[in-house]
Amino acid sequence: MDAKPAPSQESSGILRRHFLAASALPLLGCTKPDDISGGFTGINHERGHLLRDGKSWPAPSVTFKTDVLIAGGGVAGLAAARALRLQGRDDFALLELEDSPGGNSRGGAVNGIACPLGAHYLPVPSDDAPAVQDLLEELGLRRRIAGRWQYDERHLCHSPQERLFFNGEWQDGLLPMQGVGRETLQQYQKFAALVEQVRQQARWTIPVSNRPLAPVQHALSAITFEAYLRQNGLSDPQLRWYLDYCCRDDYGAGVATVSAWAGLHYFASRHGFHALGMETAEREGVLTWPEGNAWLTQRLAAPLKERLHTGRVVLRIANLKHGVEVDAFNTATQTVERWQASRAIVALPLFVAARVVQDAPDFLRQAALRTVYAPWLVANIHIKSPLHDRPGPAPSWDNVLYGAPGLGYVDAMHQSLRPVPGATVLSYYRSLGDVRGGPGTGRRQLLEKPWQAWRDEILAELAVAHPDLAAKTSRIDITRYGHAMAIPVPRNRDEIGLQPPFHMRKKLQKREQQVITHDRLSFAHSDWAGYSVFEEAFTLGHDAVAMGKQ
């Protein structure tokens, strides 16, 4: 097969529209979608929009005092709370907007089956993430046996791990291989060599090091991944689809939007890039659970007890002469509370932090202005019985359809090891960060399109591989994230992510990691890394507390 020019954004959109048109056909006359129940769940958008809508607030009716106040109960906020607890410091409070903490790593259940509402796995962390390794050791997932670290196999993703629906059948792995030509394989090999080249030129880690970029990383951070691929003559449509899928899956937007640094970081910080016929590395170990990363956040939240305060909308964070002052709206009592503390950890998304920090420093305001957020949708589909499968590998944990607008689905019951398949929940993901018109258009689609329209569109998309899906579906619960994650777009400054200049950071003793501070405030959120993964958020939250002890 001859190599073809890379599809443009417009042609990619046409491919996806054709995919949807074809996928709608198997639904006709075979089921009644109106018999499928469900709705929107998981996120209270009205609470989040209270700040945006400029509502006037009453004066605080009650005042609380604590030593450390944590604003935000996502992974970074929960990591900060754990770090305080491990230091033996009990005098702290955590304020969270939703009714349960966890941010994008929360979980739910559909018809009694646990499932993720967001992030659904954690790669086995390297030695670059010691705080995460320590957490996994505390939770019993990691222990030293005969001098070597081993992970509890019950929590590692069971085989088969992933498969791709390509050319009308399933294949093992997500890189298109079934029936591809010699030219495609040559382009796979060329990209693999480029990844190995940049790995030799610079250090690539998760979490990202806060030291200045190496020259090659600096150059890559200033251009799109699309531009990098074009410069290197990588035009094969199968390779382009795969790389675009990887970027949408990890960053919420495709190769035309994310930086070349981000596109290469996906591979260079892990095990490189490998295809059939190359010397391959062992498949990356992945920790996963039926409820996804909620398994972790629920255990981080459990010890907090009365120190966790949910349903709080943070309105104002102020540095004062002898401490900090935080006002928060209690959605249960409909009153404003005032919290006074010696210091605060601001574990909020940047666009929220810049709004609520009084007299926000310029670096915070500029970082918020430069942040581009990807909207996301997660649909948890309860099916009553196993689906009829097309030829190829057995059903896997991660199942992806080539050319589809979504990112495929994971099987919530894959880890159960039950001998006879039965009812399960398929957790379907779609990023809307690079739809035509940009993330703002994606957010409008997310909030304005009715649940029934999303239901029918998702079922039609997956029907290409599973014609019996609609007939076996009983319920679909959809969770919508308007600002799910920061997209690592190209940047022209010598930085990774959005950290302020080095002279505005404080360095931890004997550590390369540095903490972003402003008077009595420490900032901790994955937004500061410029992309959203568990290791980044957890490390930033952990280090924000270590900074306060110096």
Encode 80-97 in three state secondary structure.
Answer: HHHHHHHCCCCCEEEECC
The arithmetic mean of pLDDT across residues 482-495, rounded, is 84
**pLDDT of res. 513:** 52
Pick the CATH number of 9-41+158-284+374-486 from 3.40.190.170, 3.40.50.1100, 3.90.660.10, 3.10.20.30: 3.90.660.10
Tell which wins on pLDDT, 319 or 213.
Answer: 319
Give yes or no for residue 62 having a pLDDT over 60. yes
Residue 164 pairs in a beta bridge with: 171, 400
Q: Confidence class of residue 299 from pLDDT cuts 50, 70 and 90? A: very high
Give yes or no for residue 254 having a pLDDT over 80. yes
For 547, the token pair is 């900074």
Q: Are 66 and 92 in contact (CB under 8 A)?
A: yes
Distance CA 493, CA 212 (A): 10
Tell which wins on pLDDT, 416 or 52.
Answer: 416
pTM (2 decimals)? Answer: 0.90
Q: Are 354 and 364 in contact (CB under 8 A)?
A: yes
For 319, the token pair is 């540095």
DSSP annotation of 278: S
The arithmetic mean of pLDDT across residues 215-222, rounded, is 91
What's the whole-number average pLDDT of the chain?
Answer: 88
**pLDDT of res. 158:** 93
Give yes or no for residue 136 having a pLDDT over 70. yes
Q: Confidence class of residue 492 from pLDDT cuts 50, 70 and 90? A: confident
Distance CA 364, CA 354 (A): 6
Q: Confidence class of residue 270 from pLDDT cuts 50, 70 and 90? A: confident
Highest mean pLDDT range out of 16-30, 112-126, 433-447? 112-126
Q: Confidence class of residue 391 from pLDDT cuts 50, 70 and 90? A: confident
Q: Confidence class of residue 55 from pLDDT cuts 50, 70 and 90? A: confident
Give yes or no for residue 472 having a pLDDT over 90. yes
Give yes or no for residue 337 having a pLDDT over 70. yes
| Orientation angle between helical segments 130-138 and 75-86, nearest 10 degrees | 70
Give yes or no for residue 302 having a pLDDT over 50. yes
In the chain, the percentage of residues whose pLDDT exceeds 90 is 75
Give yes or no for residue 125 having a pLDDT over 80. yes
Give yes or no for residue 22 having a pLDDT over 50. no
Distances, alpha carbon 266 to alpha carbons 32, 67, 92, 156, in Å: 41, 39, 36, 20
CB-side neighbour CA atoms (13 Å) of 196 = 12
Distance CA 197, CA 193 (A): 6
Span 354-376, pLDDT tens digits? 999 999 999 999 999 999 999 99
| Orientation angle between helical segments 260-268 and 237-251, nearest 10 degrees | 90
**pLDDT of res. 278:** 53
Distance CA 338, CA 318 (A): 11
Give yes or no for residue 7 having a pLDDT over 90. no
Give yes or no for residue 24 having a pLDDT over 50. no
Give yes or no for residue 279 having a pLDDT over 90. no
The arithmetic mean of pLDDT across residues 185-194, rounded, is 96
Span 518-542, pLDDT tens digits? 999 999 999 999 999 999 999 999 9
**pLDDT of res. 502:** 46
CATH H-level, domain 61-99+310-371+502-549: superfamily: FAD/NAD(P)-binding domain (3.50.50.60)
Give yes or no for residue 396 having a pLDDT over 90. yes
The arithmetic mean of pLDDT across residues 408-422, rounded, is 89
Q: Where are the domains of the chain?
A: 9-41+158-284+374-486, 61-99+310-371+502-549, 122-156
In the chain, the percentage of residues whose pLDDT exceeds 70 is 87
CB atoms under 10 Å from CB of 320, counted, come to 12
Place of tokens 């928060």: 328
**pLDDT of res. 283:** 56
Span 443-471, pLDDT tens digits? 999 999 999 999 999 999 999 999 999 99
**pLDDT of res. 358:** 96
Burial tier of 448 (Cβ tally within 10 Å: 0-12, 13-18, 19+): exposed
**pLDDT of res. 284:** 67
Q: Are 170 and 389 in contact (CB under 8 A)?
A: yes
Cα 238 from chain centroid? Answer: 24
Span 507-522, pLDDT tens digits? 444 444 568 889 999 9
Cα 18 from chain centroid? Answer: 28
Distance CA 97, CA 49 (A): 11
Lowest average pLDDT, out of 19-23, 335-339, 380-384, 397-401, goes to 19-23
The arithmetic mean of pLDDT across residues 92-107, rounded, is 96
Sequence-ordered list of residues with C-beta below 8 angstroms from that of 170, at least 6 positions apart, any chain: 163, 164, 389, 390, 391, 392, 393, 465
